[in-house]
């Protein structure tokens, strides 16, 4: 059984699911294609009736969805509720705005008239991760279904109940069979799906390694793709920053979802004059977090999503220290049932240390002290990733200047608040390509067709 629900707070195996048989997979793809031939001709209002209803149902069942998520991947219950509510807002956002986003755009050629119109392209294959089990699905389902496409989705193997719950949500909202189908598929079957002529686009959120494999398959098959991969976001603290405010965001930025977020703050870059004070306050704040049952409202530190995730992090820390890094805080497994790790801070991470280029997907922060603003920007840009980042300063104009110079897809000034359906999400470099959410998110898998009329005689 490759798809399993294992409670990371206890290690207990709760349920297993078999991979789909090849014959059943063929039936799913055929049904998705048939559904597309009908769905593509539905009006935006008809599509919005179903997607909007799904948003309403999700908002009405926050506790049920959140509880399933917490049991499967260990997200603290308050954070799980927030994700469910955000996912509902995303669905509602696209139900309301899709027609406006995809409306014909008038062009102004020197002669005649022209416009661009948007149309769906077919069945989209999405491969999604475990760290945000519903949000990752909502941010592809909302736009791409409202655009007129249909979807087949491979969710992560450790959140099968969440995958089934989201599929049921759409069916309960009145979605026709084949509009959105969850797939428990193997890696070999994934390759076949990408190659299948009925698949017209591929979207992945995941690791760089997974991105290389999926993007290569899509490229070989000449399929359009979008890739939202990892990150090593810089958290820059300048000499005029509000220290208390910055530290609060530092804790949230590193520890939200137990640090298992692509756009989490991972490299804390602090100018020399603030470095000691920031590090002391950061250590104190992280030390105050208490491990516990993620279903308990009082818990401030939940488990990692799985035992392999914990072991990977512990090994990364071990390698980092072997190459000269210093553990300023934590660094160990918490001795209790489940996959818990101490909040950890690494200092003295030099450029020849493997950790300097790594992404730590969990509660491990790297701390760097720099001479000044220019040095902070240079260090922020010295990364293979380019997803997000933040800068803390009392001068908003200064913050905007720094944000413009940092090479990422997203920058935040005095906050790290990306939880808004209107805000496009995505990065550059090894963090991938394409954008999700906002008006850009719905443009990824549509045909942008030029239509021109001009009264002209053919050249002779």
- Token readout for 46 is 């008809």
Check 126, 162, 262, 263 and give the catalytic one. 262
Give dist(CA 30, CA 32) in Å, integer.
Answer: 5
Can you point out the beta strands (E) in 95-222? 105-107, 113-120, 123-127, 150-154, 180-182, 199-205
Strands 123-127 and 199-205, bridge-based pairing = parallel
Close Cβ partners of 214 (under 8 Å, ≥ 6 residues apart): 127, 190, 194, 202, 204, 206, 225, 227
Close Cβ partners of 276 (under 8 Å, ≥ 6 residues apart): none
Please say if 228 is a catalytic residue.
yes
Check 228, 342, 359, 436 and give the catalytic one. 228
Q: Identify the H or E element spanning 347.
A: strand 344-347
Cβ neighbour number for residue 107 with a 10 Å cutoff: 13
Give residue 458's Cα distance to chain centre: 51
- Token readout for 7 is 């409670």
Nearest to 409 by CA among 427, 389, 435: 427
Give dist(CA 355, CA 232) in Å, integer.
Answer: 11
Name the residues annotated as catalytic. 228, 262
């Amino acid at each position: 059984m490759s798809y399993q629900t294992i409670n990371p707070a206890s290690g207990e195996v709760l349920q297993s699911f078999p991979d789909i048989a090849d014959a059943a997979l063929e039936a799913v793809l055929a049904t998705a294609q048939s559904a597309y031939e009908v769905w593509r001709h539905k009006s935006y209002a008809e599509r919005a009736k179903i997607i909007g209803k799904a948003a309403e149902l999700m908002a009405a069942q926050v506790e049920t969805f959140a509880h399933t998520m917490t049991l499967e991947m260990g997200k603290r219950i308050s954070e799980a509720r927030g994700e469910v509510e955000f996912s509902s807002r995303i669905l509602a956002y696209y139900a309301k705005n899709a027609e406006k986003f995809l409306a014909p755009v008038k062009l102004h050629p020197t002669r005649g008239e022209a416009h661009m119109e948007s149309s769906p392209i077919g069945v989209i294959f999405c491969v999604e991760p475990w760290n945000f089990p519903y949000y990752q699905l909502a941010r592809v389902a909302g736009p791409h279904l409202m655009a007129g496409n249909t979807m087949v989705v491979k969710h992560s193997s450790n959140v099968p109940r969440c995958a089934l719950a989201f599929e049921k949500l759409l069916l309960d909202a009145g979605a026709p069979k084949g509009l959105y189908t969850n797939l428990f598929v193997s890696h070999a079957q994934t390759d076949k799906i990408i190659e299948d002529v009925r698949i017209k686009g591929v979207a992945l959120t995941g690791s760089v390694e997974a991105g290389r494999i999926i993007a290569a398959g899509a490229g070989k098959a000449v399929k359009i793709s979008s890739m939202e991969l990892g990150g090593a976001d810089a958290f820059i603290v300048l000499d005029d920053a509000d220290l208390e405010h910055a530290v609060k965001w530092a804790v949230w930025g590193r520890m939200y979802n137990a640090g298992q977020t692509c756009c989490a703050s991972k490299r804390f870059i602090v100018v020399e004059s603030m470095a000691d004070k920031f590090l002391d306050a950061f250590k104190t704040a992280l030390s105050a977090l208490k491990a516990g049952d993620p279903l308990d409202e009082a818990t401030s530190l939940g488990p990692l999503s799985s035992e392999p995730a914990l072991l990977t992090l512990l090994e990364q820390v071990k390698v980092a220290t072997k190459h000269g890094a210093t553990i300023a805080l934590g660094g160990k497994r918490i001795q209790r049932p489940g996959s818990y790790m101490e909040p950890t801070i690494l200092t003295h991470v030099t450029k020849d240390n493997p950790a300097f280029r790594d992404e730590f997907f969990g509660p491990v922060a790297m701390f760097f002290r720099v001479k000044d603003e220019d040095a902070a920007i240079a260090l922020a840009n010295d990364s293979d990733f380019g997803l997000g980042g933040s800068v803390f300063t009392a001068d908003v104009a200064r913050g905007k200047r720094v944000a413009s110079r940092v090479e990422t897809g997203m920058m935040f000034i005095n906050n790290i608040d990306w939880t808004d359906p209107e805000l496009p999400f995505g990065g550059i470099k090894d963090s991938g390509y394409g954008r999700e959410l906002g008006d850009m998110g719905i443009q990824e898998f549509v045909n942008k067709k030029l239509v021109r009329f001009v009264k002209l005689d053919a050249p002779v």
